[in-house]
Amino acid sequence: MGDLIIHNLKHTGMITVFVFIMMIFTDYLNVLTKGRMAQMIKKGTFRQYVMSSFLGATPGCLGSFMNVSFYVHGLISFGAIVGGMIATSGDEAFVMLAMFPRKALMLFAILFVLGVISGYITDKLSPFLKTKLCKVCKFSDLHLEECRCLDFKGMIEGLKKMSLVRFLFLFLLFIFLYGFISGVIGPSEWDWKRITFVSLLGLATFIVITVPDHYLEEHIYAHIFKKHIWRVFLWSFTALILIDLAFHLWDLKTFVNQHLIWVLLISGFVGLIPESGPNLVFVIMFAKGVIPFSVLLTNSIVQDGHGILPLLSYTIKDAMLIKLVNLFIGLAVGGFLYLLGF
C-alpha cells in the first residue's frame, strides 16, 4: 500500500508540474495576443466557428473564458459558443498531454472539427432553439502592465527588488529543474519526455523572471496556482489511487467491458458538471486501457471544465441550453463510435 501511494504521488507530481507549466505558458500567450483576438473573430460567421473552436481546443479554460466574453459582447453567435464548448476539454487537456500526448493531440483535432461542424448546424437550428444574439457592448481596456511581459528593463528592476512570490516560484522551479535533470523526478533516461519537461521548466523560469509583479501575483499565483493546481493534484492523485485499488481488488476492466454502454452514458452526464476534477477519472481510465476512445470522446465533448461558469452569471438559460446540446452531440457521436468498435 505504501509503495502504491509513493508511486502515485510521484506520478501525480509529474502531471501537476506539467499542467502548471502549460497553464502558465497558455495564459502568457493569451495576454500577449488577446488585444488582437477580438478583431480577428469579428470577421465572418465561418471565422467565428473556426476561432471559437480553436480557442476551445487549446488546453485549459482560458479559451472557453474568452469565448464566453466574446458571446456576451455579441461578437460570436450561439452556434459558435456551442462549438467552442464542444472543443473544450478543460484542465483535463493538460493531463492528457502529460499521459498520452499523441492520442491527446488527435482528440483535440477531432474536437476542433466537431466544434466547427456543430457550430454551423446549431446556428441553422437556432430558430427552433429560440436563441438570440447577445447585445454588443464595449470591451474593457487591457491592463497595460499585463501586456508588458517582455519589458527587459522592468525585468532587471524586478530582479533587483525581488518579491517573495517571485523568489518562491523561482526556488520551486529550480528544485524541479534539478530533479528532472538529475533523474530523481520523472523519466530516468534522457528520452523525449525528459527533454520536454526540462525545456518547459526552462521556459517557465524565463516567464517568471521576465513578467511584472502584477502578472506574477494576479495571473500565476492568485489564479493558476491557488484556483487550479491544488485541484489538479488532488483529483489526479485520487483518481490514480482509486483506479489502482480497483485493479487490485476486482477486475475493473472486465466489469467496464460488460457494462460499457452504461459507462458511456455516465461519462456524458458527468460531463455536465461545470468542474474539471470529476472528468479526470475517465482520462485516467483511458490512459490505463480500461475504457475505449468513444467513452473519452463522449466525456470530452460534453464537459468544458469550468469554462461555462462565467456564462451562468450572465444567462442561465443559454448556459443550460449549451450543455444540453453538447450532451446530445456527445452521446450521438460517442455512441456511433462505440457501435463501430472504437
Q: In residues, how long is the chain?
A: 342
* Unique residue bearing C-alpha cell 525545456: 199
User: How many CB atoms sit inside 10 A of residue 36's CB?
Assistant: 9
- Residues 6 or more apart whose CB falls under 8 angstroms from that of 103 comprise 96, 293
Per-residue pLDDT at 116: 93
Grid cell digits, residue 91 = 484542465
Distance in angstroms (rounded) separating the CA atoms of residues 53 and 73? 17
Distance in angstroms (rounded) separating the CA atoms of residues 236 and 252? 18
Q: Say if CB 308 and CB 274 are below 8 A apart.
A: yes
Q: Say if CB 94 and CB 22 are below 8 A apart.
A: yes
Per-residue pLDDT at 152: 59
Per-residue pLDDT at 142: 43
**Residue type for 96, please?**
M
**Residue type for 129, please?**
L
Per-residue pLDDT at 140: 39
Distance in angstroms (rounded) separating the CA atoms of residues 147 and 35? 9
Cα separation values, 177 from 71, 105, 183, 202, Å: 40, 26, 10, 8
Per-residue pLDDT at 137: 39
**pLDDT mean by block of 10 residues, the chain; 342 residues:** 71 74 73 60 75 84 73 79 88 84 92 92 78 48 48 62 83 86 77 79 85 80 77 74 71 73 88 76 87 92 78 76 91 92 84
Q: Please give the DSSP secondary-structure letter assigned to residue 190.
A: -
Q: How far is CA 219 from the centre of its chain?
A: 16
Which pTM value belongs to this model? 0.68
Per-residue pLDDT at 150: 54
The helix, strand and coil proportions of the chain, stated in percent and rounded to the nearest 5, come to 75, 0, 25
Q: Say if CB 307 and CB 279 are below 8 A apart.
A: no
Q: What angle do CA 15, 278, 197 make, to 5 degrees?
A: 10
